[in-house]
Amino acid sequence: MDILEKITRDKRREVDLKKSLLPISQLESSVLFGRETVSLANALRNSTSGIIAEHKRRSPSKSVINQSLNVQDVARGYENAGVCGMSVLTDQKYFGGSLDDLVLARASVNMPLLRKEFMIDEYQILEAKAHGADVILLIAGILTQNEIKTLSQLAQSLGLDVLLEVHNEEELHKSIMPSLDMLGVNNRNLKTFEVSLDTSKTLSNLIPEEFVKVSESGISSVDAITELKEYGYQGFLIGENFMKTDDPGGSATIFINEIIT
């Protein structure tokens, strides 16, 4: 069993428990549920940097990354840096995040917020909307084609953008459908944790032009972004590179200034 299978198994148990504790009607009555969302896809199309900065305390591959900063300061730092959007990890067991992080970030900034989570149930889409997300992540590796369709259509009906993440050509072919806004290529092999930008380069020509192309994982230099832009990528998800510093917002500012100058 690889890490993705293990996380998904635990996530199903977690969601079943949440459903028994907090009914959908309560999610739908949340103050944030009726909030008008902001499109990350549009922000990326109109950006010169394309940076989506992440708040991530730890990960299965790197253990602790940064647990000393609060999410509000990180969010404000990223917004001041001029990022296109912020990815907020809400998985607690493996990444040390929570839905509270999403709410705190939402209260601190106006930019698009991505709920980065292992989505396997419609309930989680409603949770995302109720806690202030603008975008949800779907991971092709843990979902069937029908599940991707059902979850993405629900998200779009709620005004949420959909970022679909793939790791290989097989996942990409089963995933392409009109109810997606962005197609993300994860450069990390989740079986070995090895990272290679060649994954993004190889799959780039297979992604239809109507989708915003996003490259994820292993992006730590301006040169890498310059290279990936030549393959049509408009979005670049960066977490560890900023979060491993004492001032993620300051690090993002320096990084973005290098891109646009």
Helix (H) / strand (E) containing 113 = strand 113-116
Give yes or no: 93 in active site. no
Give the DSSP letter string of 20-86: HHS-HHHHHTSGGGGPPP--HHHHHHT-SS-EEEEE-SEETTTEES--SS-HHHHHHHHHHHT-SEE
Rounded mean pLDDT, 164-193:
92
258 pLDDT above the threshold of 70: yes
- Calpha distance 136→127 (Å, rounded): 10
Say which of 14, 54, 79, 117 is annotated catalytic: 54
Name every residue whose Cβ is closer than 8 Å to that of residue 191 and which is 6 or more positions away in sequence.
Answer: 2, 3
Helix residue spans in the chain (DSSP H):
3-21, 24-28, 40-45, 71-81, 99-108, 122-130, 145-157, 169-175, 198-204, 222-229, 240-243, 248-260
Give yes or no: 216 in active site. yes
Give yes or no: 170 in active site. no
Domain ranges of the chain: 3-260
Bigger pLDDT: 190 vs 233: 233
Candidates 34, 36, 68, 40; CA nearest to 53 is 40
Q: What is the pLDDT of residue 60?
A: 75
Say which of 87, 187, 217, 251 is annotated catalytic: 217
Give yes or no: 98 in active site. no
Reported as a single tens digit per residue, the pLDDT across 78-134 is: 999 999 999 999 999 999 999 999 999 999 999 999 999 999 999 999 999 999 999
What pTM was estimated for this model as a whole? 0.96
Say which of 79, 171, 216, 240 is annotated catalytic: 216
Say which of 39, 79, 108, 116 is annotated catalytic: 116
pLDDT band at 3 (very low <50, low <70, confident <90, very high): confident
Class of the CATH domain delimited by 3-260: alpha beta
Say which of 11, 39, 49, 56 is annotated catalytic: 56
Q: What is the pLDDT of residue 62?
A: 67
At 115, give phi and psi (nearest 5°). Answer: -80, 110
Our CA dihedral for 169, 12, 239, 219, rounded to 10 degrees, sits at -10
Give yes or no: 117 in active site. no
Rounded mean pLDDT, 27-46:
97
Give yes or no: 186 in active site. yes
Give yes or no: 66 in active site. no
Say which of 47, 186, 187, 251 is annotated catalytic: 186
Say which of 79, 117, 127, 165 is annotated catalytic: 165
